[in-house]
Amino acid sequence: MNIDIAACSSAEDVLPALAPVWHYFGATPTAQDGTRFLPFIEPSRAFAAKDSGAVVAGCGSFPFELTVPGGTVRAAGLSVVGVSPTHRRRGILRGMMRAQLDDVHRRGEPVAILWASEDTIYGQFGYGMASVSGDIEVAKSATAFAQPFKARGEFRILGETEALAPLAEAYERARLDHPGMIARSEEWWRHRRLADPESRRQGAGELNRVLLSLDGRPSGYALYRITQKFEAGISAGYVSVIEAVGATPEATRELWRFLFDIDWVAGVKGMLLPMDHPLFFLLARPREMKFRIHDGLWVRLVDLPAALAQRRLGEGAPVVIEVADAFCSWNAGRWSVGPKGAERTTADAELACDITALGSVYLGGFRFAQLERAGRVTELRPGAAARADALFPADRAPWCPEIF
């Protein structure tokens, strides 16, 4: 078998490179599917593996600006990874990850991020689980707030085109407050958040785009669908909240009250919520939202010092960390990590870990001490994990409200 892995050379090559992963969705990518990827993944960021000229695997990455504690960083958002079942477990994924991470490194993007289809796949390539994410399912009868309030926001359901500007404005007000959020271009909004082709409904109703204004200003929005069904004449339908973002705590409270108050459904489902979502304290009975957690964003530090330079670092004496990185060996070695960033050192190591651990703490979703208790970080000097934690301050849980 002679497999050739290379970047796509033209826009026409990109759609076929999506076909291997589409196979697992039970479909062949159409031109309509392509609108979610082709405008954002330029050909040189997409890779295809070919066997005798036929595409058998593919992957690509979006060029993102990702919010991190205290700032933003350029990040490659890995997506559409697939290897045809005819060619699995022959090292093709490994070959693509090699080509792709080398490419990201060359481009000077300090980190790579992804959502994993399976949590077992990406650790070996240096990605660390960096956040957890939750889904909820609340019965209508359990949506009372602990502290009822008089709503004062104005809500309007907007059409696909008119929604763009105000929703983008509200999102932009929230984005820099949340590590894990990505900057969205107009095209991104149009093709990936607001468009509503039949193929994306999967049995649910049409996409609703509701804007919340407070004091005349776009302050939040929700994207939701209603799935209606009846049992013995009573609605067993539900509202599925795809994304609800408030620019302020008041806006978040108003938005969820609005969503919970939609009549003629049995309950409300929500997805991809951060671990510290205000609903835990807004709801009178938070247990009733049945918050189920799963791994969220995965982060790979592609260029260790460049990645740390973009993130707020705390005060304190530097900690010397021995980093193992078998896949991107340029990161491996001993680093002195302090308030000013990371630099190479020959001093004795105080902590030892794999690069995945640094991905896990990067957005503030996990702590060194927590990883130490799980055997993912080794303390070579007592107290070093706590000192490292002080260097990686985080004031909220990471939140990426969309799977890309």
Chain residues that interact with ligand COA, rule: CB under 6 A: 21, 24, 81-83, 88-94, 116-118, 120-121, 124
Active site residue 145: no
SS3 12: helix
Distance CA 281, CA 6 (A): 50
Minimal distance in Å, beta carbon 50 to ligand COA? 14
Distance CA 313, CA 326 (A): 26
Nearer to ligand COA, 1 or 232 (CB): 1
Contacts of 59 (CB under 8 A, 6+ apart): 17, 46, 47, 78, 79, 80, 81, 82, 96, 97, 100
Residue type, 41: I
Nearer to ligand COA, 212 or 299 (CB): 299
Q: Do 300 and 127 form a contact (C-beta atoms < 8 A)?
A: yes
Nearer to ligand COA, 118 or 315 (CB): 118
Minimal distance in Å, beta carbon 142 to ligand COA? 34
- Which residue bears the tokens 């001093």? 347
Q: Do 337 and 308 form a contact (C-beta atoms < 8 A)?
A: yes
Q: What is the CA radius of gyration of the chain?
A: 22
Q: What tokens were used for 311?
A: 């993130």
Closest C-alpha among 49, 33, 44 to residue 11:
44
Segments of 128-266 assigned E as strands: 128-129, 132-139, 154-157, 208-214, 217-227, 230-231, 234-235, 238-246
Active site residue 404: yes
Minimal distance in Å, beta carbon 76 to ligand COA? 14
By residue count, the chain amounts to 404
Minimal distance in Å, beta carbon 114 to ligand COA? 6
Minimal distance in Å, beta carbon 57 to ligand COA? 6
Q: Do 227 and 201 form a contact (C-beta atoms < 8 A)?
A: no
The active-site residue out of 47, 238, 392, 404 is 404
Nearer to ligand COA, 119 or 154 (CB): 119
Contacts of 379 (CB under 8 A, 6+ apart): 350, 351, 372, 385
Q: How many CA atoms lie within 13 A of 138 on its CB side?
A: 31
Nearer to ligand COA, 5 or 170 (CB): 5
SS3 134: strand
Residue type, 136: I
Minimal distance in Å, beta carbon 122 to ligand COA? 8
Minimal distance in Å, beta carbon 396 to ligand COA? 26
Alpha helices in 322-364 (DSSP H): 355-362
Nearer to ligand COA, 18 or 116 (CB): 116
Nearer to ligand COA, 93 or 391 (CB): 93
Q: Which residue is nearest to ligand COA (CB)?
A: 93
Can you name the residues that pair with 379 across neighbouring β-strands? Answer: 351
Q: Cα–Cα distances in Å, from 210 out to 145, 190, 194, 273, 274?
A: 21, 15, 11, 18, 21
The active-site residue out of 122, 238, 258, 291 is 122
Residue 229: phi, psi to the nearest 5?
Answer: -155, 160
Nearer to ligand COA, 59 or 211 (CB): 59
Minimal distance in Å, beta carbon 160 to ligand COA? 28
Q: What tokens were used for 233?
A: 């004449």
Q: Which amino acids are annotated catalytic?
A: 122, 404
